[in-house]
Every structure is written in structure tokens, then in C-alpha cells.
Amino acid sequence: MSEKTALAVACEQLRIAAEKLNLQTELHEMLRHPKRSLVVSIMVRMDDGRIDVFRGCRVQHWDARGPFKGGIRYHPNVTLDEVTALAMWMTWKCAVVDIPYGGAKGGVCCNPKEMSRGELERLTRRYTSLLLDFIGPYRDVPAPDVYTDAQTMAWIMDTYSQFKGYSVPECVTGKPLSIGGSEGREEATSHGVVICAREAAKLLGLKLKNATVAVQGYGNVGWNAAKIAHDIGCKIVAVSDSVGGIHCPKGLNPYKIYEHKSKTGSVINYKGCINITNEELLKTRCDILIPAALENQITGTNAGEIKAKIVAEGANGPTTPEADKALQEKKIMLIPGILANSGGVTASYFEWVQNLTREHWTLEKVNNKLETKMVKAFNDVYKTAKQEESDMRTAALMLGVGRVAEAMKTLGLWP
């Protein structure tokens, strides 16, 4: 049986939460559909002089609690359905961590690995110009996602600002520090994942000193999660990227692995390690598993072979509903992405606030605020799970969906 699409998974999760909350049918139906979906054709002059047309989109789910917020990804497999699911998850995520945003997501179907810096800049600026009437500090604030970064955000900020006629740093987050970016933003998603894993470990009586950790994905979230976990005393035993992975039961130095990947293009073939597949990494015997790659990685097919005590989702939607049930039966504590990886959007909120007030906070202040937000969100979800006698994902969904539904109900429907 084929696994469900990301959108089917998101809708199924919403259905479960709606049933648990006894949500009005009308509210459930409204939350199933995004407020706005934009599809654009991005015409880019390539380095060889020809003009290519790329398909882009931006989905704005619901903004009852504040401006839309969500990343932009560049990937060959971007689809409108996938972006819609991600926008929906962003809505719940912002509500779970209790920041005043609604959810959005954007994407361009392209292969950035095969494009030059100039082509990516022209693509980004053209895409921004096509979305100009629908984004902005109080409407929709983009951020980096898969294969986009601080430089991408700088191009978006500059394009938006050129149209406005003055600098608008608060129109986007995840920017370089030199143009209004926030201290700690690059590591914030990973920092949040590790904070949640730490809080879960406390509940399970698991000591983090020498706790074994496997990380799927060695992009920004995966590598920083491995680095932060290593720095607090965990033992990193396996990591992977899109090419493959490596396993070393004695432990890895994530900094050296990052250097190796930077030189060779992948973590594989690292001296003293065994090459493994991404599928094998998920089945690695460890205390904490951090899936930080793409959606639908832990499925009904492989969930029974997961050997971790804690699964902390660094990626969005890496676990299917079928896998959720299997992990629950195995008494594996799963920390859902709408909680575990909400550190990124929380730090984005901090950056936005700093930009609006033209302040710049210290790294210590940012990290202290992030710690407070993440610990409270974790405890809120855990308390709900205990009260409802449910798993952590259902509890997080109930908390997030419930807060958004309450805001929508309070605002009413106009006209």
C-alpha cells in the first residue's frame, strides 16, 4: 500500500484533532482549506541566454492569530499539495508555541544544485516581484527552508525594499546579521529540537551524558542538531544526507563530519565509519533519533524497526499516521515537528520584533527567550497529552488547532 501524500497526512491529523476537540463542522471545514493559494510562472534568463520558466507557489493557510509566516523552499519535487500541507502545519506550529502568526509556505520547483548563484538570484527576485502584493511585514513574512538560506532572504528583502523605496528588514526573517538578522537564528530550529529531546529525556529518566543520537539529514537543521547535542555531552553515532549516511558506534565528531561534507559533497566515506543508507539510519539503535530531512521518512513499513527511545522531529511531517500508531505501540516517545522544530519560527518572531523596533538583541537574550518559549510549549503539550490520555502529536495538534479555532470563532465571519 502506498503512503499518503503530505496533504493527506495533514488533513488526517486535522480530522483527529477536530474530533477530539468536538470542533464545529464549519470550523473544521474552514481549517481544511487555505485562505489563499498563489501559483506563479517565474521566467528566468539563464546564464547561457535562454529563458526558463519555473513553477512557483505561496500558500497562506490562516491568519486569525497574526500575519502569515513560513519558509520558502527550492526543490525539484515542490508541489502545491505539499506546500499546502506545510502551510497548515505552520499554522498549528505557531499556535503551539504561542506566537502571533498564522501559517504559510512557499516553494519553487527547481534544482538549485544545478543552478548558478546568478540564476538563483534572478529566480528569487522574479519570484518576489510576483508575490509583492501578498507579502510584507504585516501580511506574510517569508523565511528560509529547504535549499534556501540567509542570502536568499537578503535578495527577497532587497527586492521588496526597492519596490517600497526604503529599507524594510522586517519583511523577511532568517537574514544575514549585517542587514538585520538575529543572533542565534541559524541554529534556532536545531536548538529547539535538542531542548525538546532534553525535556523528554528527563521524563524518561534518560541521562543526556553519552546518550546515543542518530540524525537523518545534514543540512542546516541536522548538522546544527548534531553539533548542539554533541556539545552537551551526547554521542552522535550516525548521520546522513541526501546521498547516504555513516554509522560509527564509538561516536562521531559532527564538526569534522561537516568539514568532510563541505569538501566532498556528502557525509559518506568518512574514515573509520560504515556507509549506510538513509533507511538504515532510521533503524539505528540509539536513544534519540532526529529525522531532519524530508516528509514521510518513518512509515508504516519501517516504524516497527525503529529502535530509539525518543524521536524528535527536526523535519516537517517525517512520520506518517500509520507510523505514529506503531511507535506508540512500541512506547517510543515521539515529539512532533509542530512542537520540536518550532524553535526556528520562534527565533524568526524574535527577529521580526527586533526589526520592527530597530533593536538588536544579544545571543544570550535570544537563547534565554527561546529556552523559555520551548520549555513552556513542551510542558503545555505534555500536560494536554496526560489530560487527554493521548500521544504527544495528538496533544500538540489539539493545542494548536484549538487555539486557531478559538481565534477564528472569536473574530467571526465577515461579511
Does residue 396 contact residue 324 with C-beta atoms inside 8 Å?
no
Contact status, residue 264 vs residue 177, Cβ threshold 8 Å: no
Which grid coordinates belong to 92?
498549528
Q: What are phi and psi of 312, to 5 degrees?
A: -110, 110
For 59, the grid coordinates are 500558500
What distance in Å separates the CA atoms of residue 318 and residue 293, rounded to the nearest whole number?
A: 8
Q: Is 216 helix (H, G, I), strand (E, B) or coil?
A: strand
Residue type, 415: P
Distance CA 400, CA 302 (A): 28
Q: Mind spelling out the 3-state secondary structure of 41-90?
A: EEEEECCCCCEEEEEEEEEEEECCCCCEEEEEEEECCCCHHHHHHHHHHH
Separation of alpha carbons 391 and 394, rounded Å = 6
Neighbours of 348 (CB within 10 A): 27
Question: Which of 242, 236, 230, 331 has its CA nearest to residue 289?
Answer: 236
Give CA–CA dist 64/44, Å, rounded: 35
Q: Where are the alpha helices (DSSP H) in 165-302?
A: 185-204, 220-231, 254-264, 278-282
Contact between 31 and 14 under an 8 Å Cβ cutoff? The reply is yes
Q: For residue 154, what is the enclosing H or E element?
A: helix 150-164
Catalytic site includes residue 330: no
69 has which bridge partners? 103, 141
Given the residues 69, 93, 105, 283, select the one marked as catalytic: 105
Q: Give DSSP secondary structure letters for 353-414.
A: HHHHHT----HHHHHHHHHHHHHHHHHHHHHHHHHHT--HHHHHHHHHHHHHHHHHHHH---
Q: How many CA atoms lie within 13 A of 111 on its CB side?
A: 2
Residues with a catalytic annotation lie at 105
